[in-house]
Amino acid sequence: MSFDYDLFVIGGGSGGVRAARVAAGETGAKVALAEEDRYGGTCVIRGCVPKKLMVFASEYADMVEDAKSYGWSIAPGKFDWTAFRGKLEAELDRLEGVYRNLLKNAGVESFDQRARLVDPHTVELADGSRKTARHILLATGGRPVKPDMPGAELGITSNDIFHLPELPKSILIVGGGYIACEFAGILNGLGVAVTQFYRGAQILRGFDGEARGLVSEEMCQRGIDLHLGTNILEMARDGDGIRVKATNGTERVFDQVMFATGRAANADDIGLEALGVARGRKGEVVVDEYSQTGVPSIHAIGDVTDRVNLTPVAIREGMAFVETVFKGNPTPVDHALIPTAIFTQPEMGTVGLSEEDAAEQEPIEVYATSFKPMQQSFAGRSDRVLMKLVVSKATRKVLGCHIVAPGAGEMIQLAGVAVKMGATKEDFDRTVAVHPTMSEEIVTMKAPVRSA
C-alpha cells in the first residue's frame, strides 16, 4: 500500500519538531507535521524559555543592592513589566520562526491545524482533509490543569502568567512542585507579594530531603509567605480581587491566584480510544521502551506519555524513535541518571538518587557541606548553599549529587557527566579543586557526615 507520507507527526513542540526534521533531513523520509497552536510547544512558548528569562529579570533587584556592598553607587530602579513583556513576546515570536524554519529547511510539510487519528495509518485535519502515513508519531505534550473546586475558574495557570496585562500586587500560588516554587521566586523578585500554599509537608516532593529543606528555608528568608499542609477550600470574586478560604482557617483576598497543581496529557479527543491505543491512569498514552503504543504504526513521545516530563528527554525520545523506526537501529530510551535543574531562588541542580531513595536501596555514606558563598557573604547576605554527594558503601559509586546554589544548573550538567559514567567518590577526590569557587566543595569533602 502506498502512503502520502512515511511519517506524520502530531504536535510541533521540541520532541515532535526534532523527530520530524531528523527523519526528513537524515533519512530522506517524506514527513508532515500538524500543530494547532504555536510551534515550539510548552518549553519555548509557555515554559522553560520565557520562565528562565523571567528568572533573569527577577534577579536584578538583589544585584543592585549587592553592587553597593562592592563599592558601586547605583540607585535601585523600578521594574517595568510592560517593557519586559514586549521584549519577551518578540523573543518568543523569533524562536517560533526558528522552529518553523527548521521544519521547512528539512523538507517537512506543515499544517497549522488540529489533527486526529482515523485509523492506524490515517489522520484527519480540522479542515476535513485526510492524510495517510506509514508511521504516526504523537507528540502532543501536556497542559496545566486546575483543581475541581468552587471558584477555580478565577485562577490562572503557568500558561497565563506571561501574558498578564500588569503584574499583580499580591498573588497566591497553589502547589509545591518546581513550577509553583519557580514562579514564587520569580514574582517575589519582581516585587509581587507572594503567598504559597502547598498541601504536603514539604515542597518539591521527590527531590532530596535536605536540598528541598534548604530551598524552602531560603524562599521564606527572601520573603515568600509559604504555608505547608495548607490548601484552598473555595474562591470567590471580591471586588477586583479573589477571596480565598484556606484549610488552615484563614480567609484572605489576593489580586491573582495561580494554580500549579498538576499537568495532564493532551490525549483527549484525538481518536485514540477507537483505535485501541491504551491510556494510563492519568490519561497518558501508554508506550513501551521504544515509544511504541499497542498499535504498531503509532508511537508517542514527550509529555503525552508522562514518563519524564522534561524537554531534553522529549528530544531524546524523538531521536531514539527515528533511530528505531527510520534507521533500523532499535534504540530504547535511556531514562536513567537524568541531570535536572530547578530554577528556584536559590537554584537547585540534581542528578541520581536522593539520600532517602538511595538509603532504601543499599547502605550509603553521605558527604555534605553547607556554607555562605563568598560573593553573597561579602555583600552581607545570609544565603546558604549546599553541596551533597550520596555514595554507595559497597561500590563507592556516587549515586546522587545535589547542589543548592546560584548557578546550580550549570554545575549539575558537568557533575552529571561524571555520575552517568559511574564515577566513584575516589574519582571525585582525585580531582583537583578549582579555587576559589563554590563547586570546589564537591571534590574537597573528605569525611562522610552520616551513614545509612
Rounded distance, CA 370 to CA 306, Å? 34
CB contact at 8 A, 229 and 199: yes
Beta bridge partners of 285: 279
Beta bridge partners of 7: 31, 135
Q: Is-cis flag, bond preceding 332, omega within 30?
A: no
Q: To which residue does cell 514574582 refer?
A: 187
Sheet with 340-342, edge to edge strand ranges: 340-342, 348-352, 398-404, 385-392, 364-371, 450-451
Rounded distance, CA 18 to CA 36, Å? 17
CB contact at 8 A, 256 and 243: no
Phi and psi at 97, nearest 5°, equal: -60, -40
Helix (H, G, I), strand (E, B) or coil at 156: strand
Phi and psi at 261, nearest 5°, equal: -110, 15
Please count the helices (runs of H) and the strands (runs of E) in the chain.
13, 22
Candidates 248, 280, 8; CA nearest to 122 is 8
CA 48 to chain centre: 6
Q: To which residue does cell 508511521 refer?
A: 135
The grid coordinates of residue 33 equal 507535521
Nearest-5° Cα angle at 233, 230 to 239: 110
Q: To which residue does cell 554527594 refer?
A: 389
The enclosing H or E element of 402 equals: strand 398-404
Active site residues: 435
Q: To which residue does cell 537501529 refer?
A: 329
CB contact at 8 A, 425 and 398: yes
Other CB atoms within a 10 A radius of the CB of residue 416 amount to: 19
Rounded distance, CA 400 to CA 425, Å? 11
Cα-only R_g, the chain: 24
